[in-house]
Chain A
Amino acid sequence: MTTVILRTAARYLLPLMLLFSVFLVLRGHHEPGGGFVGGLVASSSVILYALASGVRDAAHLLRTDPRMLIGAGLLLALASGLLSFFGGQPFMTGQWVSLVLPGMGEIHVGTPLVFDVGVYLVVLGTVLTIILSLLEQ
């Protein structure tokens, strides 16, 4: 399956799809998107790259074992829920802050977004763990 066309296309598609997946996570709170589908898109991009250039290259590109992503995602999701204890509120109460960024105006950032990033990482790690293991066989 490693043709030149696919290899070249995958190299350009990978950053685009990754960027798109991040976009999906960020817009998810207001528009269609979210951590789950974002994670799926991100894992598709890595798998496309693995299909084109081989598992070893893809693993090298990741720099870390996909299982680390799963653990990091779970911890992040859990931590986002624990934050509310500091405000004396029940577990997983959403906490929001308004940030004013130069050039972007005022944006709301909250723990649900952090939670969604956790979901994103878990989904990405899980799919990659399963499919890369199968590809290696």
Chain B
Amino acid sequence: MTFAVLSGFLAAVVVPFLPRFGRYGTGRTVALVPAALTAYFGSYIQPVGAGETFRTSYAWAPALRVEFSLHLDGLGLLFALLVSGIGALVAIYAGGYLSGHRHLGRFYGFLLFFMASMLGVVLADNMLTLFVFWELTSLTSYLLIGFDHEREESRKAAWQALLVTGGGGLALLAGLLMLGEAAGTMELSELASRGGDVRSHALYLPILLLILLGAFTKSAQFPFHFWLPSAMEAPAPVSAYLHSATMVKAGVYLLARLSPAMAGTDAWWYLVTLGGTATMVCGAYLALCGTDLKRILAYSTVSALGVLVMLLGMGSVLAAQAAMVFLLAHALYKGALFMVAGAVDHETGSRDVDRLGGLWRAMPVTAAAAVLAALSMAGIAPFFGFLGKEMLLEASLESGGRWFLLPVVVLAGAVFVAVACMAGFRVFFGSSLPTPKQPHEAPLSLWLGPLLASAVGLALGLFASYAAAWIVSPAATAILGERTGHQPLKLALWHGLTPALALSGGSILLGLLVYANRGRILQMNRRLEVLLRHGPAWWYDLALGGLNRFALAQTRLLQTGYLRHYLLVIFAATVGLSGYVLIGSVELPARLLGPEIRFHEAALAGLLLLAALAAVRSSTRLAAVAALGVVGYGVALVFILYGAPDLAMTQFAIETLTVILLVLVLYRLPRYAVLSSRWVRIRDAAFALVTGATVTALVLAAVHGPAYESVSRYYAERSFAEAHGRNIVNVILVDFRALDTLGEITVLAVAAVGVHALLKLRPKNREDAA
């Protein structure tokens, strides 16, 4: 299983080089990876359906309770099949959609990278493993939305998606860590049985809010929904894969996964159900008002995600089953419709539903795929979408006292019908309209994906009882957790004249009515536009602008460009923070000096003092640098005297390089033009004295503190025994605390890149402008 998840990353590294070997067939070759994964996960349907679960785990940083652990159960399997199955279709599709694109290889690399990350999200058991993969999906989404990076709109959309989902990711990290504390475990598979501890924990509400922030931003829930329609700047395969079928469902997945531990409280019900309902309504309304086919589909995706979240909020057995049926149906038909929209755009040069019509004559196969998918979306029997909608209605009917959900759900269902009419009917039937490009049938690679996806939607509907038993039921069981006694799900296309069936028929009629009156709705919307202008996207821009202005202001305040001001800020912070801790908590030794002072020690101290004074008093930069160099070498000598040869060697090397560095910079500068005023000198002297005193106190506290001896003895004892090294300093650096060193050399690397950018990548015209 580990290899299955990681194989996508390996393939992502190799794939970018594929197009060099041949112009054609890349798509089909790449599709082999997800196709093989689909077959692999398909082999788990039987045992998982029978109630088995699988887990593998690798110790990562056990002391921090971080493990690389994967867990496969019904819920994970449903998602894994979706991710790999639709991944295969999209890979074939992208080969046609982007054929001949000069960065096709890179695109496939990103796509597989995303697929592997998404598999990691849905199969992770340790919450931190999940988080790492979760962030990787945000990152790959950024790369894929901004794939066409020469266009400003796609850069902006990519940036927006990254900021919104990345911001939510930070909240999620905090939430998951707190959840792990509350439950006493970081493993999701163990979390399910600790629901009682979590729900009664004092921090339950903050945990819930933080996790919801992560899930809602990822799954584009109101009021964070605005990034999803903007993300339609991405190429169509990306919209079909990430932004309808898989990634945006990660938030839904998380809520489903955490349901056993966290659901069932009033807070959960109100926050999740109402959040989902608001999203459903908002998305449905905006979908009706669009004219760009991809945007219409994007808003209807937002609406569908709202439905899923709402169902998970309800928390009943029926609602959990309905959520899984609806999720599967939606992924299939919406993925197909997005691919159709891309194919239409590719062949006609337009995506405007008001300017397209009668395309079935030119594109019969694409039209067939679109109609099949649209019928499923509208909820017509015998498609799988019909079952999804009926179960949704039943779950809402069952919710009893919360009656207000039912009319809202029926209305949203009607809007789905109207959107299906636009995507599957309006574009392909009626009179032909002139398009920018003469339409003709899309190539095989462009219609195979959507046709297969919608055909699977039909097949699942026809063989609903199998789908229920093998795929949906195990997934719903994982959501429901310990609650026993629930009925295993039985799906059938016909079970008599139920109220849900009547409502379903009613919503279809209502949908057709809405579709017929679309003109009036658009007119009304134009009048409302003034109100809608100040939506969440407007607030996002405002917040981003504010953040930038704040960053600029604080940079001007703290980073004036003068080294002396930087030093003042750094020293003030150091002295302030460490001094605050030192005062009152540390006892200084009564005697500062040892029993005897040897001559060379005193001489060295004198030399250091003299050099420091010379540095302060000198009137040329070079002399000051040289004097500082003497101070540095003096300190190195101190290290040698007191038995720290490693430090001394490093200090010597650093000191030499620093002098070279400073000389290089200062070489060209003129003599000091203005010497510091008297007041500034007094201020600086006071600062220096206070800083020196603080550092002295710090050193004395470190030497005399009782707590530190055990640490050095610990290292001395274990250095050779466990790490095969006699040089303790080095062993600490490269073995005991190697993780810290890894962080430090990363910082070094970042600093080097920063300096390089400052010196080498300056805009050429800066000098002209200045």
Chain A interface residues toward B at CB < 8 A: 24, 28-37, 40-41, 43-44, 47, 51, 66-67, 70-71, 73-74, 77-78, 81, 85, 88-92, 94, 96, 108, 110, 112-113, 115-116, 118-119, 122-123, 125-127, 129-131, 133-135, 137
Contact = CB atoms under 8 A, between A and B. Distances in A.
A137 B760 CA distance: 9
A108 B745 contact: no
Interface in B371-401: none
Interface in B702-749: 723-727, 729-731, 733-735, 738-739, 741-742, 745-746, 748-749
5 contacts: A32-B646, A37-B653, A44-B657, A94-B735, A126-B752
Contacts of B730: 28-29, 33-34, 116
B770 interface: no
B60 A91 contact: yes
Nearest to A121: B745
B738 A115 contact: yes
Given A35-B733, A67-B753, A77-B741, 19 more contacts: A29-B734, A30-B726, A31-B727, A32-B645, A32-B646, A32-B649, A40-B650, A73-B749, A92-B739, A94-B735, A108-B724, A112-B738, A113-B734, A115-B741, A126-B751, A130-B661, A130-B755, A133-B755, A134-B759
B574 to A, nearest CB: 23
B664 interface: yes
A40 B652 CA distance: 10
Interface residues of B, number: 44
Nearest to B758: A133
Given A90-B60, A131-B657, A37 B649 contact: yes
B756 interface: yes
Closest CB pairs A-B (n = 3) = A40-B653, A32-B645, A29-B725
Given A28-B730, A67-B753, A91 B748 contact: no
B61 interface: yes
B547 interface: no
A130 B724 contact: no
A34 B61 contact: no
B656 interface: yes
Contacts of A34: 646, 727, 729-730, 733-734
Contacts of B661: 130-131, 134
Contact of A43 (B59, B657, B729, B746): B657
Nearest to A118: B745
Given A92-B739, A122-B745, A29 B731 contact: yes
Contacts of B749: 70-71, 73-74, 122, 125-126
Contacts of A134: 661, 664-665, 759
B762 to A, nearest CB: 11
B755 A129 contact: yes
A67 B755 CA distance: 11
B657 A67 contact: no
Interface in B570-621: none
B752 A67 contact: yes
A35 B734 contact: yes
Contact of B61 (A41, A90, A130, A131): A90
A32 B727 contact: yes
A119 B61 CA distance: 21
Contact of A131 (B60, B650, B664, B738): B664
A73 B746 CA distance: 10
Interface string B47-72: 00000000000111110000010000
B467 to A, nearest CB: 38
A73 B749 CA distance: 10
B13 interface: no
B649 to A, nearest CB: 5
B726 A126 contact: no
B756 A67 contact: yes
Given A36-B733, A125-B752, A94 B723 contact: yes
Contacts of B729: 32, 34
Contact of A135 (B58, B664, B724): B664
Contacts of A116: 730, 733-734
B734 A123 contact: no
B738 A81 contact: yes
A132 B205 CA distance: 55
A88 B654 contact: no
Contacts of B739: 81, 91-92
A48 to B, nearest CB: 9
B660 interface: yes
Contacts of A74: 745-746, 749
A113 B731 CA distance: 10
Nearest to B649: A37
A126 B754 CA distance: 10
Contacts of A115: 734-735, 738, 741
A112 B664 contact: no
B755 A89 contact: no
A100 to B, nearest CB: 16
Nearest to B644: A32
Given A92-B738, A126-B752, A30 B650 contact: no
Interface in B15-68: 58-62, 68
Given A67-B752, A116-B734, A36 B650 contact: yes
A23 B62 CA distance: 35
Contacts of A29: 724-727, 730-731, 734
Contact of A123 (B60, B735, B748): B748
Contacts of A113: 734
A137 B724 CA distance: 46
B727 A94 contact: no
B748 A122 contact: yes
Contacts of B61: 90-91
A29 B736 CA distance: 12
Contacts of A125: 749, 752
A81 B664 CA distance: 38
Given A37-B646, A77-B745, A129 B756 contact: yes
B654 A40 contact: yes
B59 A90 contact: yes
B307 to A, nearest CB: 41
Given A90-B59, A119-B734, A123-B745, A40 B665 contact: no
Contacts of B724: 29, 94, 96, 108, 110
Nearest to A84: B59
B66 to A, nearest CB: 8
Contact of B727 (A33, A127, A133): A33
Given A90-B62, A92-B739, A119-B734, A130 B752 contact: yes
Nearest to A131: B661
Given A126-B748, A129-B756, A81 B742 contact: yes
Contact of B59 (A31, A89, A131): A89
Interface string B633-665: 000000000000110011001101100110011
Contacts of A129: 752-753, 755-756
A52 to B, nearest CB: 13
Nearest to A43: B657
